[in-house]
Chains A and B, each alone.
Chain A
Amino acid sequence: MSKTRITRFFLCVVAVLSLTLNSTTGYTEDSVVNVYSARKEALILPLLERFKAETGIDFQLVTGKADGLLKRLEIEGEATPADVFITTDVGRLQRAKSANILQALDSEILQSRVPANLRDNDNQWYGMSRRARVIFYSKDRVDPSKLSTYEGLADEQWRNRLCIRSSSNIYNQSLVASLIEHIGVEKTEAWAKGVVTNFSRKPGGGDTNQLEAVAAGQCDITVVNTYYYGRLLNSGDPEKVAVAEKIGIFWPNQDDRGAHVNVSGAGVTKHAKHPGAAKKLLEFLVTPESQNWYAEVNNEYPVVEDAVTSDTLRAFGEFKADEIDLSILGEKNRDALQLMDRAGWQ
């Protein structure tokens, strides 16, 4: 190929690609919102479709693991097409903030509807649903009056009776981070060692597996996010319902700080090309309808007060939630992980 032919070819390729890209990434004014979501497709797509129907704003979606998407946002920098970043835990939201990929979003609606401890101090992210991680016990083998707090899980009475996920799991990391904040590193480390001696089996599997292990008799107590339990209860599958019915829910630390709660949340990216649409999307996600949807479909607790929630959540009863400043969970994540490494929590 001659030089001019190559030049022409190259320019053609660039032109064609950028045309197709322009049509897909949509640089026109806010007729579209582009979302990077760590929430799985099944738990975000229906809401986006409803958003589109109500506002006429189209959407484009990539789902994935929070860490990967966050890294992608970071590397894409100014050229990123993403407008909104959604995660399922506060640790990653905080990390996105410190990686400087989010922007402050001033919205009266969001600021008035989302309680202060469930959003960022600088308004860079907002909680979208609450997820409580609490104790579950075998109704046959455990007297719930013996249960009290997360701290109590390290007691000798639970020797070889506890199962829980691995320390690679972010919910466990957040829980330990909250303990570090409340009782300090030393006590938390002693606690973690106690918990490790109480393991009835090597950590592994998902939260549902822990519930099933309690029902099967492999262990007597576990710590699980409540929506997994709700899902078993509502599954309509008699075997799964039978598993859930063998298990009771216990809200720990009700006499002091309250039960550990994490949030799923969202923020607008720093280099968003459609900040207006992004703002509308976030506001849409805290409407009572959207908040109810999470309660109904995935048994997550709303962040707003006027949501109706679901029958399942009402059956779990009222509880006192730990009102710790959630950004601390993100900041102490590394400490939590290293502490669990030292304690031998695999």
Chain B
Amino acid sequence: MNLTALSGHTQVTRYSHSRGWLFSAVGVSCVILLPIITICAYLFAPPSDNWDHLVETVLPTYIGNSVWLMMGVTLGAGSIGVTTAWLTSMYQFPGRKLLTWALLLPLAMPAYIIAYTYTGMLDSSGPVQEWIRSSFGLQYGEYWFPEIRSVGGAVAMFSLVLYPYVYLLARAAFLNQSICVLEASRTLGCTPWTSFFYLALPLARPAIVAGLSLALMETLADYGTVQYFGVSTFTTGIFRTWFGMYDPVAASQLSALLMLFVFALIMLERWSRSRARFHHTTNTYQRLPEIKLQPGKAAIATFLCAMPLLLGFLVPVFQLLIWAMETYQEMVDARFLVLAKNSFLLAGAAAVVALIPALILGYGNRVQPSRVMQFFSRLAAMGYAIPGTVIAIGILIPLGAMDNVLNNWMRENFGLSTGLLFSGTVFILLFAYTVRFLAVSLQTVEAGLGKVKPSMDDSARSMGLNQTQVLKRVHLPIIKGSLLTAVVIVFVDVLKELPATLVLRPFNFNTLAVRAYELASDERLADSSTAALAIVAVGIIPVIILSVAISRSRAGSQSR
């Protein structure tokens, strides 16, 4: 048995504490990397003849569409996120207080649900075009109307539900910028525009990039939306190759390539940032004097911040409500409450579980900054860019093998069948969520740790605290807000997560997302709306808690 190996682990503590962190960090990333390695292992398999087919026919389209999507979402989610974050943290305008937290609401909206909803409204048979035809006496084709099922439509959908990642991280960054720096820039003759572009934006760049990379990874991993829109992306290709051509090898190779591509992008960004590290060197914080905008400009600001909320949340929720009014009586029963409970508990557990490796990795990176560590933790976070189904299978393979070994061993030695101890229980779901959402918690935890100046560590250490004590007594109070953010985002992400949940969940265990998906994919949009609304409703609660916490955590604000 490997019990000796287990007990050997305790000896690690005899080394210095920083070595301990390093070892745990490497250990954690290895466990997280298990499914990713499983998939990447296929890279060494000989390519099948399906590759020739792919390259000759559809691969260029897949790549083209994926790149368009990424560029579109960068532009869409990036500009919405940064604009709203800047306006809400720097200016006063009517509705700002409400918008500050409400702008996070689209986070609770699953991308495929918003896609189904907008299609229902804007399709050729939807109420909008119906109205155009009946009021102007036109036939279809006699007027111009944008096609929702297109790359552009998909970009719009993703931008609307993913911008909150950018908003959240960019806003936290803007809020933490010392007002003194901004004021100094103003005294040096910068206009608001130039200090935004030359000072605030570069200072917030790591945070913005972190938010954008989350949005992009989620875009690349999406299958439900693009499939419904008939936009063939890299992910579509993976699914068709795996399940249509029955070629797991080529499909895994495609997944591995996708992963490498994202990895390269992230590394490229970090490299271009090079050694520039931004730390505030001053402790002189002051409450930011929010600039009161003149009525005209204030109206524009309100409009700019209200639009994403309107389009990304209010309009689809309104449509869902209309549908739910027709169907909720059939849909809400005792079983529905169980679904809500399952979703809530699962998401809560996953959010806490996913935080642990993120803390170990983020912290290990800080204590022992080494290239190897950096590399490992970046790689471990790649799970976010891979379609959930592929991750799920990458997890099933090793855990299923472990279960079979354990099952046989227990049967031979104790005559007791353990069945699927790991892969047949909630354990595998929690593991899958951790792998998939590590990027989210890691980015957030690292953003939080970035607020802790290296000099703080040094002074704490010089006062005789060891690294663990520094974590507990210095860092934890500072990064508390970021930890909360990580927990909430993962919570909401798990609540919405579908593909891995669908493949891996145990018997008689359903969630709101599964219910919503089953009905929607059975083309019963109206029936699915109640479950979709419930996802949104359960997701809103933590989002609001988070918003309140963020506004309170403002550097130099009175409440701290």
Contact = CB atoms under 8 A, between A and B. Distances in A.
A204 B229 contact: yes
Contacts of B397: 75
Contacts of A77: 400, 404
A60 B508 CA distance: 6
Contact of A76 (B123, B230, B423): B423
A21 interface: yes
Interface string B60-94: 01000000000000000000000000000000000
B113 to A, nearest CB: 15
B507 A68 contact: no
Contacts of A209: 119, 123, 125, 523
B503 interface: yes
Contacts of A21: 418-421, 424-425
A49 to B, nearest CB: 12
B183 interface: no
Contacts, number: 203
A165 to B, nearest CB: 8
A223 interface: no
B458 interface: no
Contacts of A71: 393, 396, 503
A63 B125 contact: no
B403 A6 contact: no
Contacts of A165: 230
B417 interface: yes
B375 interface: no
B547 interface: no
Interface stretch (A118-126, A279-287, A317-325, A333-341): A333-341
Interface in B382-416: 389, 392-393, 396-397, 400-401, 403-404, 407-408, 410, 416
Contacts of B510: 41, 63
Contacts of A213: 123-125
Contacts of B514: 63
Given A6-B3, A76-B403, A205 B149 contact: yes
Prevailing SS type, chain A contact patch: helix
B393 A79 contact: no
B424 A337 contact: no
A63 B504 CA distance: 10
Interface stretch (A22-30, A109-117, A299-307): A22-30
A168 B400 contact: no
Contacts of B504: 72
A218 interface: yes
A62 B244 contact: no
Interface in B119-160: 119, 123-125, 129-130, 133, 139-141, 147, 149-150
Contacts of A204: 149, 228-231
Contacts of A1: 7, 10
Contact of B140 (A3, A24, A67, A216): A216
A216 B502 contact: no
A202 to B, nearest CB: 6
Given A67-B242, A205-B149, A243-B125, A14 B418 contact: yes
Interface of A: 1-3, 6-7, 10, 14, 17-18, 21-22, 24-25, 27, 34, 40-43, 60-65, 67-69, 71-72, 75-81, 95, 165-166, 168, 173, 201-209, 212-213, 215-218, 228, 231, 237, 243, 333-334, 337-338, 341-342, 346
Interface of B: 3-4, 6-7, 10, 50, 53, 57-58, 61, 119, 123-125, 129-130, 133, 139-141, 147, 149-150, 227-232, 236, 239-240, 242-247, 326, 389, 392-393, 396-397, 400-401, 403-404, 407-408, 410, 416-421, 423-425, 499, 502-510, 514-515, 518-519, 521-523
